[in-house]
Structure 1
Amino acid sequence: MPSDLAKKKAAKKKEAAKARQRSKKPEDANEENDQAEPQENGADSNGVANLTKELDEFELRKTEARAVTGVLASHPNSTDVHISSLSLTFHGQELLSDTSLELNSGRRYGLIGLNGTGKSMLLSAIGHREVPIPEHIDIYHLTREMAPSDKTALQCVMEVDEQRIMLEKEAERLAHEDSECEKLMELYERLEELDADKAQMRASRILHGLGFSPAMQQKKLRDFSGGWRMRVALARALFIKPFMLLLDEPTNHLDLDACVWLEEELKSFKRILVLISHSQDFLNGVCTNIIHLHQRKLKYYTGNYDQYVKTREELEENQMKRFNWEQDQIAHMKNYIARFGHGSAKLARQAQSKEKTLQKMVASGLTEKVVNDKTLSFYFPPCGKIPPPVIMVQNVSFKYSDNTPHIYKNLEFGIDLDTRVALVGPNGAGKSTLLKLLMGELLPTDGMIRKHSHVKIGRYHQHLTEQLELDLSPLEYMMKCYPEIKEKEEMRKIIGRYGLTGKQQVSPIRNLSDGQKCRVCFAWLAWQNPHMLFLDEPTNHLDIETIDALADAINEFEGGMMLVSHDFRLIQQVAQEIWVCEKQTITKWNRDILAYKEHLKSKIEKQAHDI
């Protein structure tokens, strides 16, 4: 039966190949002009080649510095993956110790844990097959953006010949095993999805969901910035639908619209998904299970992030009750033994009995005390008062060049030290552009921006880590940036406020995780003592605990704040107003951010219906 089916599929693939050739004709590109900001990565092929080579070498160094051991505990033909005795070290530092990795088909896992505990390292080890995962389970690990090339975004997503060949080989192998009929049918289903007659429509739908207009889908990859090429790589991962999909912070380069679309898309992923994300909202929407990396062990919880929090609290409460009861019993027995161990024969016998009971309790293993993650307290120093208006925007219009449409027209508003605004809206509508205009990094095409002569603005953006000197330690870097702080111990305390402690303060910055590098940037930013915080995607690479600490620090800060973020929860925590940047203007949203999310969901559903 399977072999007949294989013949039919082979015939169908020949037809599909012809259709694939037909589908390569470019569509009419006279679509509306995309308003995305000019791209930072130009078409300098030498620079790109060098950067790609550096990234490859960096990844190779990481792989060489990593040591992984583990034993496959599940059946080699199973679609579930169970690895026992899993240990992982990096540069000799133990990140995982004798734990188990359990990934079951049909489950979507959120991998959480503090910055620097090894989440990305574990995903990388799985992606490189450094753990014994059976060959029939294909893995797609989204690590970096697509390299610039002359191919269009649509072509790059559909170009999956390698994946198709691998699936065909596996189907051929299974066709001779009658017991594997169900698995074979699933492979044929996946091959059918990759065939050209359906592929272009699927690829176009995915790109559209991630913010690509029809015109952008036909644009060459070399004309996109790194952030947009990362979206193409994500689209490709979703198009392939691998058996195991590994995503490390997939929302980092997305706006709120694309985050909502991706959440809806991943909800229906049928195989194995492992996802690292700092967004509780996103984890709640996507995950069926949570894996908590804590104290070098992987701990498993059923349900989404909120369910994990509830279950963990209940387990820890019960654990502490058990711990306290045991400690009371031990104290009572020790006290009895000390008082009556040398008394009358009867009391001495009772004391000896209690001593044996105590020894049995210790031998059978005592309940451990709950060790909570260290809580952080970010800090933005007092900035003093400046009388309003701090910044006035008067009849401002802006466009990047004479050949591009306006990003903004006739803006009028003021911001003061009590301003707490979140900027939302689709990519290319100008959220980051507005912050650059207010900073003075860009000049208005028309109109005027007036700033108080004494105002200091601190802008955090996702490229800030590029200014760090990677060979210096955080301590050396901060001492260099702030020479007025003479004492190392004082600077150690300052850096410690941002969650960098012990060895992390004196290790080269290049050896820190992305999240730890971001913390160095926050320490640097805070000690500029700004009156206004302009935060452009500040949550990228931060863990959930650090984001909460950042939210508390923003709420305690006495200056003003403007925020661009795809993290609904952070916006909910710190923003008093929501401004929608769209259609060349700014409009105040009169409801909360969760109502805005529902508005985006409705918009996505309508667009999907219209396609």
Structure 2
Amino acid sequence: MVLIVILPGVLDADNQGVIPHWRNLKSGLPAKIPSAIGCFKGRMMGRLVVRLWHRRPGEAVAVPFLEVSKARLDRVWKVDALTKELEDFELKKAAARAVTGVLASHPNSTDVHIINLSLTFHGQELLSDTKLELNSGRRYGLIGLNGIGKSMLLSAIGKREVPIPEHIDIYHLTREMPPSDKTPLQCVMEVDTERAMLEREAERLAHEDAECEKLLELYERLEELDADKAEARASRILHGLGFTPSMQRKKLKDFSGGWRMRVALARALFIRPFMLLLDEPTNHLDLDACVWLEEELKTFKRILVLISHSQDFLNGVCTNIIHMHNRKLKYYTGNYDQYVKTRLELEENQMKRFHWEQDQIAHMKNYIARFGHGSAKLARQAQSKEKTLQKMMASGLTERVVNDKTLSFYFPSCGKIPPPVIMVQNVSFRYTKDGPWIYNNLEFGIDLDTRVALVGPNGAGKSTLLKLLTGELLPTDGMIRKHSHVKIGRYHQHLQEQLDLDLSPLEYMLKCYPEIKEKEEMRKIIGRYGLTGKQQVSPIRNLSDGQKCRVCFAWLAWQNPHMLFLDEPTNHLDIETIDALADAINEFEGGMMLVSHDFRLIQQVAQEIWVCEKQTITKWQGDILAYKEHLKSKLVDEDPQLTKRTHNV
């Protein structure tokens, strides 16, 4: 591991999103780190941000932005010892996962068929005696409830803990790129090690003037990789993900974690692996980039497996759906909508078969009980039915359909307050005196009947607007007036950072809301957000990201806000939870402003679409689906190559 210590002096940049928050990783760190941070805080009069990155063996500890003597660091703790502890922690996590399976496809096949697949983590059985089928040319959406083990399965595949032939190269996108002096373009180009190796080998053979047949093979492979167009292709991918030409030349250390994740995604798309594994690839993207990525992935011709909470994205990309349910992997042909239709039909037929079998069993058992000891004729008939019953039992009975637990979110009644609730009057804003204007002369009002989705490219100021409305930021010019009694609840991507990871959800909520004295009453409240049983009393650090989000929603709802400001609320939530959130928003009595990359959620809850762009806000004349078509038409103008490739698939 590399320990990166960011010292005071760069924290202003951190507050503007330039540097990612360390708490995103805090849940996975040993207990020593928070206390060490506290020690630094006291000695150095400032906060520290601690982040971990995989390193090559022997690579030194990196301390960017400001030189710090080793002696000073050693006064707080031994860096080498801490590094070793963190490495041991990662090894223990990997050791806690056990995977078994048998390769059933031919070792030289481009398809992967694994039978008898089982997956456990810390003794919990996630998959049991199931099969993994991944066929070349197919794009799979892996779906299932939060915490069921989707990411764990993807990680096991990516680390080849399942028996995948060596000729199938795998690229698993797991984390953002670490800060460095490299540019995004350099980072993308350097990942294509095959192209670089082939070019070096071709140059060597050309100088030796030998092995002409081998040289021809190398040139054919380089042509297949578009080696002469590699830089243009890398630039095109970065542009599609939102990087302007000037941004492509900036240093990586000047970007936020979200933008560095885009660079990591660009590397994955550039390298064109035989098997590409993506876990929530849209989480750090705006709607423009989501539309571009959807069109780009439609052209992927090998094996793609992606986890996504966006039904719209799954519909646009996937040719097949894998449903992880009840410790099995179930396969469906078609996109998400087709999966829903097919699954419903199959489950209806399964329940019809189940009820028919149960009726037959009850009838035969009743007949055997009544006539088994009757006349010879009736006894023979009873014996015949008993044999039939035994055959039915031996051949296996149809199981009852076990549906996922229904989930319902709840926002309590907030009461009425007279309009105007919030008035924005001639507001302009920029972060620094010499910085660019984010907004100029905004003028609008919002009330309890407001249902608005904010859209626009990254950096246009969507999250900034929410911070202005809540008072986290102050206008540079103009005024924002709020009703004296209004309560605002803001959900944002870093809300999990406030959670005390050592407490259970039950303990945390009781601490936050001491007026609720009875544990059973609080259990019922938390249960409304999909956390039940052991999940309520386990340390929050042991919960999945999606389950932590539910704790945040429970905490937010019981503030009893009049206005909900939701900034990317769907990150880490499963599809069922997002639908429950949409239902709760629609039943909520107060106002709502939403920033989201999930087209379907916007379609479900927003009555108006406001476009944040070019220092102002304009109302979109149409719904979010019309806005998506508008973004697609922009793609046609900006990237004709993408459109041609999509039509050829």
TM-score under structure 2 normalisation? 0.83
- Higher mean displacement: 473-482 or 225-234: 473-482
| Structure 2 counterpart of 1:329 | 360
Aligned residues: 563
Identify which of 618, 621, 643 aligns with 1:587: 618
SS at match of 1:235: helix
Matched, 1:63 2:94: yes
Whether 1:426 and 2:488 are equivalent positions in the alignment is no
Q: Does 1:474 align with 2:505?
A: yes
Checking the alignment, whether the CA contact within 8 Å between 2:100 and 2:119 is kept in structure 1 is: yes
SS at match of 1:51: strand
1:26-37 counterparts in 2 under 5 A? none
1:96 counterpart (122, 127, 134): 127
Distance 1:119 1:415 in 2: 40
Aligned-pair CA distance for 1:187:
8.7
Residue 369 (structure 1) aligns with = 400
Amino acid at match of 2:260: R
Quick one: which amino acid aligns to residue 409 of structure 1?
A: N
Matches within 5 A, 1:51-200: 51-52=52-53, 59-160=90-191, 162-164=193-195, 191-192=222-223, 197-200=228-231
- Any gaps of 5 or more consecutive residues in structure 2? 1-13, 23-46, 55-82, 203-214, 643-649
SS in 1 for 2:639: helix
- 8 A contact 1:48–1:148 mirrored in 2: no
Matched residue, 2:536: 505
**Alpha-carbon displacement from aligned partner over 1:403-434 (angstroms, at most 9, x marks no partner):** 22111111111101110000011111100000
Q: Return closer, same or farther for 1:528/1:48 CA change in 2, 3 Å cut-off.
A: closer
CA distance in 1: counterparts of 2:641 and 2:153, whole angstroms: 41
Within 1, Cα distance between the matches of 2:270 and 2:236? Answer: 10
Distance in 2, Cα, partners of 1:117 & 1:141? 19
- What residue ranges of structure 1 are gaps of 5+ in the alignment? 1-35, 172-183
Q: Distance in 2 between matches of 1:339 and 1:245?
A: 62
Provide closer, same or farther for how the CA distance between residues 165 and 383 of structure 1 changes in structure 2, counting only shifts above 3 A: same
SS at match of 1:206: helix
Q: Which residue of 1 aligns with 2:606?
A: 575
- 1:571 Cα deviation (Å)? 0.3
Indicate conservation of the 8 Å contact 1:43/1:148, yes or no: no
The separation in 2 between residues aligned to 1:225 and 1:143, in whole angstroms, is 17
Residue 577 of structure 2 corresponds to 546
- CA separation of 1:87/1:399 partners in 2, compared to 1, >3 Å: closer, same or farther? same
**1 CA distance for matches of 2:641 and 2:200?**
38
Q: Deviations for 1:285-335, whole angstroms, at most 9, x for unmatched residues?
A: 000110000000001111111111111111111111111111111111122
Whole-angstrom CA distance in 2 between matches of 1:191 and 1:299: 39
| Structure 1 counterpart of 2:17 | 39
Residues 136 and 170, structure 1, Cα contact 8 Å, conserved in 2: no
What one-letter code is carried by the residue in structure 1 that aligns with 2:500? E
- Give me the whole-angstrom Cα distance separating, in 1, the residues matched to 2:619 and 2:279: 33
Is the 8 Å Cα contact of residues 39 and 223 (structure 1) preserved in structure 2?
no
Q: Which whole-Å deviations, capped at 9, do the CAs of 1:113-153 have from their partners, x for residues lacking one?
A: 01011000000111111111111111111111000000011
Tell me: CA distance 1:393–1:547, structure 2 relative to 1, closer, same or farther (3 Å).
same
After superposition, give the CA deviation of every residue in 1:74-116 in whole Å (9 maximum; x if it has no partner): 1111111111111111111000001111111111000000101
1:64 deviates by 1.9
Q: Decide which moves more: 550-559 or 399-408.
A: 399-408
Which AA in structure 2 matches 1:141? H
Distance (Å, rounded) in 2 between the aligned partners of 1:57 and 1:589: 53
Q: What amino acid maps onto 1:403 in structure 2?
A: D
Alpha-carbon distance, 1:554 to partner: 0.4
The answer to which of 195-204 and 486-495 deviates more is 195-204
Alignment-derived partner of residue 74 in structure 2: none
SS of alignment partner, residue 492 of structure 1: helix
Of 369, 383, 393, which aligns to 2:414?
383
- Cα distance between partner residues in 2 of 1:220 and 1:110: 34
CA distance in 2, matches of 1:189, 1:57: 45
TM-superposition CA deviations, 1:422-469 (whole Å, max 9, x none): 001111110000000000000001100000111111111111112212
Percent identity over paired residues: 88
2:52 match: secondary structure: helix
1:437-456 aligned at under 5 Å gives the runs: 437-456=468-487
- What is the root-mean-square deviation of aligned Cα atoms in Å? 2.5
Residue 280 and residue 56 in structure 1: after superposition, are their counterparts in 2 closer, same or farther (change >3 A)? Answer: farther
Which one-letter code corresponds to 1:459 in the other structure?
Answer: R
Counterparts of 1:185 and 1:242, CA distance in 2: 23
**Aligned-partner Cα distance in 2 for 1:516–1:318:** 33
The one of 259, 264, 287 aligned to 1:256 = 287
CA contact (8 A) 2:319 2:333 kept: yes
Q: CA deviation at 1:52?
A: 2.7
| Residue of 341, 344, 363 corresponding to 1:313 | 344
Question: What amino acid sits opposite 1:332 in the alignment?
Answer: H
Q: Report SS of the residue matched to 1:428.
A: coil
Task: Determine the structure 1 residue equivalent to 2:246.
Answer: 215
The CA distance in 2 between the partners of 1:552 and 1:68, in whole Å, is: 38
* 1:42-75 deviation digits (Å, cap 9, x = unpaired): 899x967743368876654431211111111111
In structure 2, do the counterparts of structure 1 residues 521 and 91 end up closer, same or farther at CA, with 3 Å as the change threshold?
same
Distance 2:192 2:632 in 1: 34
Q: How big is the shift at 1:481?
A: 1.4
Q: Hey, what's the Cα distance between the residues in 2 that align with 1:137 and 1:168?
A: 22
> Who is 1:463 aligned against?
494
Distance 1:386 1:373, change over 3 A: same
Cα separation, 2, equivalents of 1:585 and 1:367 = 60
1:137 partner letter: I
Deviation at 1:208, TM superposition (A): 0.6
Shift of 1:191: 4.0
CA distance 1:533–1:260, change in 2 (3 Å) = same
The aligned amino acid for 1:357 is T
Does residue 288 of structure 1 match 2:319?
yes
Give the CA deviation at 1:483: 1.7
TM-score by length of 1: 0.88
Q: Which letter maps to 2:541?
A: R
Structure 2 Cα separation of the partners of residues 84 and 353 of structure 1: 38
Bigger relative CO (Cα 8 Å, ≥ 6 apart): 1
Flag the 1:170–1:321 CA change in 2: closer, same or farther, 3 A: farther
Distance of aligned partners of 1:594 and 1:188 in 2 relative to their CA distance in 1, 3 Å threshold: farther
Distance (whole Å) between structure 2 residues aligned to residue 60 and residue 325 of structure 1: 51
